[in-house]
Amino acid sequence: MSPAQILQNLPYSEPFLFVDELLEVDESGCRGTFTFVRDLDFFGGHFKGNPVTPGAILTECCAQIGVVCLGIYLLGEEGAAEDVHIGMSSADMEFLLPVLPDEKVTVTSKKIYFRFQKLKSDVKMYNAQGRLICKGKIAGMIKTRKHG
């Protein structure tokens, strides 16, 4: 399954889509990007006069790239990537640097395991200078109608 096909099968749309590009994907992990453009709604109030991307949104970006995109790829390998249903089951993140408006980030993920419809990944987010923004482990249940 190609990166373009994976992006077409994502169960998100703007304003809650946090994947611009999927650069690499294989059975062990993936890498993708997103730019937090200045006009995203949350920048208006988080924080007044000093906009910073909320940690929950950084976690969501890591989950969309590092778990959902990878999960769609893995399901596609099984021949069933359409009509994806996903639910995050756990996230343990550490935040090291802020993400400011108009900042482009790169997320990498390494699969820890994928079994019984649960995918767990080790995720890392980097800024354009290659500095680590956040890291952690995110798990989610991922299935299609074909997989019940």
Residue ranges making up the domain that contains 61: 3-147
Hey, which residues are catalytic here? 46
Euclidean distance between CA atoms 73 and 22, whole angstroms: 11
Contacts (Cβ under 8 Å, ≥6 apart) of 49: none
- How many domains, in total, are found in the chain? 1
pLDDT tens figures, 49-89: 999 999 999 999 999 999 999 999 998 866 555 667 788 88
Which CATH number does the domain housing residue 128 bear?
A: 3.10.129.10
pLDDT at 133: 98
b/e sequence 32-51, b meaning 16+ C-beta within 10 Å = bbbebeeebeebeeeeeeeb
Neighbours of 146 (CB within 10 A): 12
Q: Which amino acid is at 135?
A: K
DSSP secondary structure string for all residues of 44-57: GTTTTTS----HHH
Give yes or no for a contact between 134 and 93, defined as CB atoms under 8 angstroms apart: yes
pLDDT at 15: 93
Euclidean distance between CA atoms 109 and 67, whole angstroms: 8
